[in-house]
Amino acid sequence: MNGAENLLETLVASGMEICFANPGTSEMQLVSAIGNRPDMRAVLCLFEGVVAGAADGYARMADKPALTLLHLGSGFANSMANQHNAMRAHVPLVNMVGDHATWHVKYDAPLTSDVAAHAAISSSWVRASTSADDLALAGAQAVHAALQGAGKIATFIAPANHAWEAATQKVNPLPRPQRPQAPAAAIEQAAALLTAGGQAGNCALFLGGQALRENNLQLAAQIAETTGARLMCETFPARLQRGKGRPLVQRLPYFAEPAAAQLQDLDRMILIGAKAPVSFFAYPGKASWLAPEDCEMATLAEVDQDIHAALAALAQRLGLDPEKAGGADSPGAETAATATPPEPESEPDKLTPLAIGQSLARMLPENAIVVDEAATCGLKLFAVTEQAAAHDWLTLTGGAIGQGLPLSLGAALACPDRKVVNLQADGSAMYTVQALWSMAREQTDVVCVIMNNRSYAILNIELARVGATAPTPKTLSMLDLSRPDLDWVSLATGMGVPASRAETPRQFETQLAAALSQPGPHLIEALVVQNM
């Protein structure tokens, strides 16, 4: 048995089931070892940004890490933007990165670079194996490191010779780490703040991470209802369970002004799996801190702590019966079924984000997964799908665009019995467009809706917001995706994904119905008219 085979034995025993791969010469033994294991699924991706984004999507939906296989420092570099997003999503992820044979590094061959320096930027744990026997141990430790807290990125580096040299020591999995508990004082402080009096509605539970799963949302809603607090969540949740029968949560807006407006009446915030809200970017003369300056903050549970236990303890402390939380028949919480209906469409013939959202709200299948990288269009789409059938909503956690298509690929592989709908901005989609090919190869049930507005629309807004002077045609050309227009039907079919183009709400609805009714991937290019 060589080092690679011994490693795979340990990784499988540690619970790893899938590997998103873009290998090179230095990983051939690892490829071969994976190829010999029926219990490790291999998914080839044609770019490393797809590898990392798919591993993130898998982890968000499977609640366990996927393995990646990457080729030295430069291969890792290509994955780094989506590693950043995965880090911000607090998911577990295990990177397996090949490197030159140990004796080869000193020659500084062309592809030589400092793999660990690349990995250290987003990984919480990095180490290279020191021998063929040590390689499996490095793998076991990486899985262990990835499972710390809510989930971490752990990267182990496999010099090529450690993969091909003989290994003799079997390495067992390490025990699964437990999430740390929030301290008792945090429960007390949260309870005290919630019951401190003040105006009803001037206190908010501000939720992120695991607090946005249905069982925890029901607990939080029960607490909110009892205390009069508002239920809010971070702008870019990794996974928010919402829709019919689930508690309504106010999502913090993206732009600083409406975000600050939403927070302006608060004098108390209880942070649960989320950090205090700050603006995404800074703007001239505007504060980055969004809550009122005198708003008291208390943390019930950090994102890495046991959020469910903390919420249950708080509910109990408040005299509630946590067992009663949950279900659409929960008497307390306002649920989506009781929310206000969406506004009527003022221009029924135009394919606006609102029109798309309304179709989606009607047609989204029960238990769908929505991957939202729709940028400027996403805000409206989120608002009008509040009453759709129960679903999971996944967002761009780290702001590094090019995540939506890969995330959808990974989510679909984690949940083969659920439909994935990817609401995708055109500019962002181009970064990792190669994901479409893997969707076709794996025949994942993903419906990609490309919001083609032929521009980086968000930047046209931001240009004015940062106080830039009147833009010249050249300035605007740097924010504009026309000349030539991208043809998404050609791009998708070129990678084996059936595609169609919609220019009216009726066309869109017909195409969406068809795509949702068939297995396998489909792409709808929606030529959207934007009314911001």
The distance of closest approach from Cβ of residue 417 to its own copies in the complex, given in angstroms and rounded to an integer, is: 23
- The reply on whether position 73 binds its own copies by CB under 8 A is yes
Q: 359 Cβ partners below 8 Å, 6+ apart? A: 505, 508, 509, 512
**Interior angle at CA 254, CA 291 and CA 197, nearest 5:** 30
Among 344, 398, 388, 109, which residue's Cα sits nearest to residue 235?
398
Contact 23, 72 (CB under 8 A): no
- The reply on whether position 293 binds its own copies by CB under 8 A is no
- The reply on whether position 124 binds its own copies by CB under 8 A is no
Contacting range for its own copies; rule: CB under 8 A; set: 108-116, 344-352, 373-381, 417-425: 108-116
- The reply on whether position 517 binds its own copies by CB under 8 A is no
Rounded CA gap, 404 and 447, in Å?
12
Among 199, 264, 288, 517, binds its own copies (CB under 8 A): 288
Q: 70 Cβ partners below 8 Å, 6+ apart? A: 22, 23, 27, 48, 51, 76, 79, 95, 96, 97, 98
The distance of closest approach from Cβ of residue 347 to its own copies in the complex, given in angstroms and rounded to an integer, is: 29
Considering only residues 153 to 182 of the shown chain, the ones binding its own copies according to CB under 8 A are 160-161, 164
Among 166, 200, 261, 466, binds its own copies (CB under 8 A): 466
> In Å, what is the CA distance from 370 to each residue of 385, 446, 486?
10, 10, 24
Rounded CA gap, 228 and 197, in Å?
10
The distance of closest approach from Cβ of residue 49 to its own copies in the complex, given in angstroms and rounded to an integer, is: 7
Strands 391-395 and 240-242: antiparallel
Which backbone phi and psi does 268 adopt, to 5 degrees?
A: -145, 135
Would you say 278 or 363 has its CB closer to its own copies? 278
Per-residue binder mask for its own copies (CB under 8 A), 43-72, x = binder: -x-xx-x-----------------------
Rounded CA gap, 384 and 405, in Å?
22
Contact 274, 211 (CB under 8 A): yes
Would you say 414 or 440 has its CB closer to its own copies? 440
Contacting range for its own copies; rule: CB under 8 A; set: 34-42, 127-135, 331-339, 379-387: 34-42
Contact 526, 453 (CB under 8 A): no
Among 240, 495, 502, 515, binds its own copies (CB under 8 A): 495
Rounded CA gap, 99 and 94, in Å?
16
Among 1, 12, 13, 111, binds its own copies (CB under 8 A): 111
- The reply on whether position 471 binds its own copies by CB under 8 A is yes
- The reply on whether position 123 binds its own copies by CB under 8 A is no
Considering only residues 383 to 402 of the shown chain, the ones binding its own copies according to CB under 8 A are 397-400, 402
The distance of closest approach from Cβ of residue 117 to its own copies in the complex, given in angstroms and rounded to an integer, is: 6
Structure tokens at 356: 């798309």
> In Å, what is the CA distance from 149 to each residue of 176, 387, 411?
11, 32, 21
- The reply on whether position 259 binds its own copies by CB under 8 A is no
Contacting range for its own copies; rule: CB under 8 A; set: 170-178, 340-348, 364-372, 436-444: 436-444
- The reply on whether position 339 binds its own copies by CB under 8 A is no
Q: 136 Cβ partners below 8 Å, 6+ apart? A: 3, 6, 7, 9, 10, 167, 169, 170, 171
Among 245, 292, 365, 496, binds its own copies (CB under 8 A): 496
The distance of closest approach from Cβ of residue 258 to its own copies in the complex, given in angstroms and rounded to an integer, is: 16
Among 389, 481, 514, 516, binds its own copies (CB under 8 A): 481
Contacting range for its own copies; rule: CB under 8 A; set: 55-63, 295-303, 424-432, 508-516: 424-432
